[in-house]
Amino acid sequence: MKITLLCALGMSTSLLVERMKKVANEREINVEIEAYSADDIDKHVETANVILLGPQIRYKKNELFKKAKAANTPIEIIDMRAYGSTDGEKVLDQALDLMNYTREE
Q: Which residues pair with 4 in a beta bridge?
A: 34, 51
Cα separation, 79 vs 70, in Å, equals 23
User: Per residue in 51-88, is it b (16+ CB within 10 Å) or e — as a string?
Assistant: bbbbebbeebeeebeeebeeeebbbbbbbeebbeebbb
Question: Among the options 3, 5, 6, 7, which is catalytic?
Answer: 7
Cα separation, 103 vs 105, in Å, equals 6
Q: Is 68 a catalytic residue?
A: no
Residues identified as active-site: 7
